[in-house]
């Protein structure tokens, strides 16, 4: 099982990780979480490029990827940010997400560190 001590209790939903462990088994859960963490930088870079390039379709693709994978990994704060970005994207387009990039990046860094610590 993934260790879910008090690492980032407001970043990670402990129950979600435990459910994932029960559903997938400990080894598969660790692999999924490890892959999720490994993909974070490329997801964020894709989001940044889509926003700076005002590419609504690409931004939606990556926002949904972040939201869904974050929900599965128990990264609930990051999932909520992605959901807010999705709503803003629908209302105003990719350009309007620029003000969210710093918050998403910071939350992503904290979340990935927390998840990596939970793998120990």
d(CA 36, CA 32): 6
* Radius of gyration for the alpha carbons in the chain, expressed in angstroms and rounded: 14
- Inform me whether the pLDDT recorded for 89 exceeds 80: yes
- Work out the average pLDDT over 50-63: 98
The predicted model scores a pTM of: 0.88
- Inform me whether the pLDDT recorded for 49 exceeds 90: yes
Q: What is the pLDDT of residue 8?
A: 52
């990264």: which residue's tokens? 75
- Inform me whether the pLDDT recorded for 10 exceeds 90: no
The domain made up of 14-119 has a fold known as: 1.20.120
Tens of pLDDT along 98-117? 999 999 999 999 999 999 88
Q: What is the pLDDT of residue 1?
A: 39
Which pLDDT band holds residue 120 (cuts at 50, 70, 90)? low
Q: Are 11 and 77 in contact (CB under 8 A)?
A: yes
């Amino acid at each position: 099982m993934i260790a879910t001590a008090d690492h980032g209790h407001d970043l990670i939903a402990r129950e979600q990780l435990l459910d994932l462990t029960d559903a997938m088994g400990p080894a598969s859960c660790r692999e999924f979480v490890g892959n999720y963490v490994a993909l974070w930088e490329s997801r964020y870079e894709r989001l940044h490029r889509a926003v700076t390039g005002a590419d609504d379709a690409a931004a939606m693709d990556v926002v949904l990827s972040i939201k869904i994978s974050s929900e599965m990994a128990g990264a609930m704060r990051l999932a909520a940010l992605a959901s807010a970005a999705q709503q803003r994207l629908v209302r105003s387009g990719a350009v309007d997400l620029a003000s969210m990039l710093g918050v998403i990046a910071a939350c992503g860094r904290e979340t990935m560190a927390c998840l990596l610590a939970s793998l120990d």
